[in-house]
Chains A and B, each alone.
Chain A
């Protein structure tokens, strides 16, 4: 996955670096470290979830059946597909194919938006079922131990909500990339930018895998 070395006159590094290789490696490393911090951010919440999942296994498994497995699975498929298109966009820009890059980026964004739409629909559905114990809304749980079940839903909203926030930030950055791609000023630089944002986008997908598994799949 090496970026093709550019021969254009714009290929000078930022002033603190000696050369472009150093700069590229530095930025890549910075991004991976940032992703490690994101891992720990979600990790803190997953740790708390683990504690309660272990303490109330039956209630949590029962509560999970109230989530919509079909939509959850669909969303998982959608998200990985968008990650695929992001990876393809990276290859397209490295091959200096402008139209293709643009198309792939737009597909990535559209799928991301659809994902959020479906997620919003799910939340709305849970709201109408009175399974949204937020801001003092009524929580009417049809099963046993409604208080412990409420704890499950708390985690569900925290995790999916935080994930949605990350998705939205990713979408904003992707939109900026679309603008850059339309301008097509400095393709090697754009290639680096797409690579870095691609890392972020794929990472958000990794987080979703664990949200999906722990919230939807560990059910009774």
Chain B
């Protein structure tokens, strides 16, 4: 290689190519990860804005901030944006996109063009839906239940469905890309049981994306056809069963909650081992329970339908299966704590995020078990108890893991360090604000406060006000990182290749990595997370 060519190869992926087209037409997985990060952040703050208005409205028992109709549209926007345009793509498409090829020692994903296309599909689908929702409004909730969505809602339901349908293709594309990359592009010596748990988690997530998303597409097609062409598959007048929609919807959407949480589990496994300076406790069990979750996750969807009119017999079976899926989740929680045990813990900001995850996931998971018990669910279904349950997992755990991971790999992605003190403040604000927002919701839900209502009896006001104030603190927890991370891009200290002395192939290359990730081909000779060796060097 000539010297000029060698210099060019060792240049970082950020150092040249700053025309618009170098970004919008890039096939470099690291740049596509940034495209996704930008879109996702925008959607996150949009969804957050809707949530803030909702919380503002709920400060008082009467409807005084927005009309009842606007309230319905607000929680629909919030749900649709957060679930489909933020959580589903969040970790896989940002951190996963950036790290998966690095972690397996590959030059790129198996299908780089497909990766870029998936971003366009995602962004166009997302913007389309937002435009539809904002110009004419949708009030079905993120679940689009029939017969309301087919026969009664008179707004831009079709447009919203189309957007969600389109975004599904970007999930499928990502899933295919990740699965093939994990199977076919691993560096020599990187056997399955030497893979970082983050790779396992993204692999399992991709399996779920690939097997579940098409069913959502089919269901949305049926809804769209029913609304537009009068082909009534769920129409009771033709002997159709509206509950069938729920079966198909939850066949996708329960596994989809694992699309949302599994990558978070992967991230946290990386963070905890690194900052306890210890290998993951029970690595094999961790990897296999990730797979088990993604498989068992397909057997439990009926627990969302206990009071829908589904047969009691099916309800019982789904209840039983739901208990099984909690098992591997519990194994993971035990193993994280066992990893901490006797570790040399370092309470950095990243570690605070990781520990928040474990605590909040435990609470969210436990209340999931309550909900999965058929008889208890009859009492708390469609109350704030359910709202608190899934926010503990999706926001408390998943978003925390995402932000924690973003901090952990920020030096790798940007070549800059962030201000540690501010990060600690933000992490604590997040933990405190989150609990203040959502713990009261368990209490009011258990006491009977239904979800999706704009007005409520005065008895609930104290809890609602606490929740709204907490949301304010939480918002600070999210806005702070936005500010100091952007600040660090310019003024942060330059990052060395491995600032945390972490294990994993991604730390062997420069920060930020060169265009083709590694200057020489990598080989792997030992087990993952070998922190004893690293620390004794």
Q: Which residues of A contact B (CB under 8 A)?
A: 15-17, 22, 25-26, 29-30, 33-34, 36-45, 47-48, 51-52, 55-56, 133-136, 147-148, 150-151, 154-155, 157-158, 162
- CB B166 to nearest CB in A, in angstroms, measures 14
| Contact of A42 (CB < 8 Å), options: B177, B218, B244, B247 | B218
Contact residues in A for B221 (Cβ distance below 8 Å): 45, 158, 162
Binary contact track B16-60/A, C-beta < 8 Å → 1, others 0: 000000000000000000000000000000000000000000000
B interface majority secondary structure: helix
Find out whether the CB atom of A48 lies under 8 angstroms from the CB atom of B233.
Answer: yes
The 7 closest A-B pairs by CB, nearest first: A44-B218, A16-B108, A40-B214, A41-B214, A44-B215, A37-B214, A26-B184
- CB B255 to nearest CB in A, in angstroms, measures 11
Find out whether the CB atom of A15 lies under 8 angstroms from the CB atom of B233.
Answer: no
Check A44/B219 contact, CB under 8 A, given A16-B109, A148-B239. yes
| Contact of B238 (CB < 8 Å), options: A15, A17, A150 | A150
- Counting CB contacts under 8 A, is B222 at the interface? yes
| Contact of B239 (CB < 8 Å), options: A15, A30, A56 | A56
Interface size counted on chain B using CB atoms at 8 A: 43
Check A36/B233 contact, CB under 8 A, given A30-B111, A150-B238. no
Residue on A nearest B113 in the bound complex, by CB: A14
Find out whether the CB atom of A16 lies under 8 angstroms from the CB atom of B107.
Answer: yes
Find out whether the CB atom of B230 lies under 8 angstroms from the CB atom of A33.
Answer: no
Check A48/B222 contact, CB under 8 A, given A16-B112, A134-B231. yes
Select the residue from A36, A38, A154 with max chain B CB neighbours within 10 A: A154
- Counting CB contacts under 8 A, is B4 at the interface? no
Q: Which residues of B contact A (CB under 8 A)?
A: 106-112, 172, 175-177, 179-180, 183-185, 210-215, 217-219, 221-222, 225, 229-233, 237-241, 244, 247-248, 251, 516
Contact residues in B for A157 (Cβ distance below 8 Å): 231
Contact residues in B for A42 (Cβ distance below 8 Å): 218
Select the residue from A22, A26, A148 with max chain B CB neighbours within 10 A: A26
Complex Cα–Cα for A51 and B234 (A)? 11
Complex Cα–Cα for A148 and B232 (A)? 11
Residue on B nearest A162 in the bound complex, by CB: B221
Residue on A nearest B219 in the bound complex, by CB: A44
Residue on B nearest A39 in the bound complex, by CB: B214
Can you identify 29 A-B contacts, CB atoms within 8 angstroms? A15-B107, A15-B108, A16-B106, A16-B108, A16-B110, A17-B110, A22-B184, A22-B185, A25-B184, A26-B185, A30-B111, A33-B179, A33-B180, A34-B172, A37-B176, A40-B211, A40-B212, A40-B214, A40-B215, A41-B215, A44-B218, A45-B221, A48-B222, A48-B244, A148-B238, A148-B239, A150-B238, A154-B233, A158-B221
Find out whether the CB atom of A45 lies under 8 angstroms from the CB atom of B218.
Answer: yes
Contact residues in B for A158 (Cβ distance below 8 Å): 221-222, 225, 231, 233
Contact residues in B for A26 (Cβ distance below 8 Å): 110-111, 180, 184-185
Contact residues in B for A150 (Cβ distance below 8 Å): 232, 238
Residue on A nearest B521 in the bound complex, by CB: A18
Complex Cα–Cα for A25 and B185 (A)? 10
- CB A133 to nearest CB in B, in angstroms, measures 7
Contact residues in A for B251 (Cβ distance below 8 Å): 44
Find out whether the CB atom of A36 lies under 8 angstroms from the CB atom of B211.
Answer: yes
Complex Cα–Cα for A158 and B179 (A)? 31
Complex Cα–Cα for A151 and B223 (A)? 14
| Contact of A51 (CB < 8 Å), options: B107, B110, B225, B241 | B241
Complex Cα–Cα for A26 and B359 (A)? 40
- CB A41 to nearest CB in B, in angstroms, measures 4
Residue on B nearest A154 in the bound complex, by CB: B231
Contact residues in A for B225 (Cβ distance below 8 Å): 158
- CB B420 to nearest CB in A, in angstroms, measures 36
Find out whether the CB atom of B219 lies under 8 angstroms from the CB atom of A133.
Answer: no
- CB A193 to nearest CB in B, in angstroms, measures 15
Residue on A nearest B237 in the bound complex, by CB: A147
Complex Cα–Cα for A37 and B218 (A)? 11
Residue on A nearest B517 in the bound complex, by CB: A16
Complex Cα–Cα for A38 and B214 (A)? 7
Complex Cα–Cα for A25 and B181 (A)? 11
Residue on A nearest B109 in the bound complex, by CB: A16
Find out whether the CB atom of B180 lies under 8 angstroms from the CB atom of A29.
Answer: yes
Complex Cα–Cα for A42 and B218 (A)? 7
Find out whether the CB atom of B229 lies under 8 angstroms from the CB atom of A134.
Answer: yes
| Contact of B172 (CB < 8 Å), options: A37, A43, A147 | A37
| Contact of A147 (CB < 8 Å), options: B179, B218, B233, B238 | B238
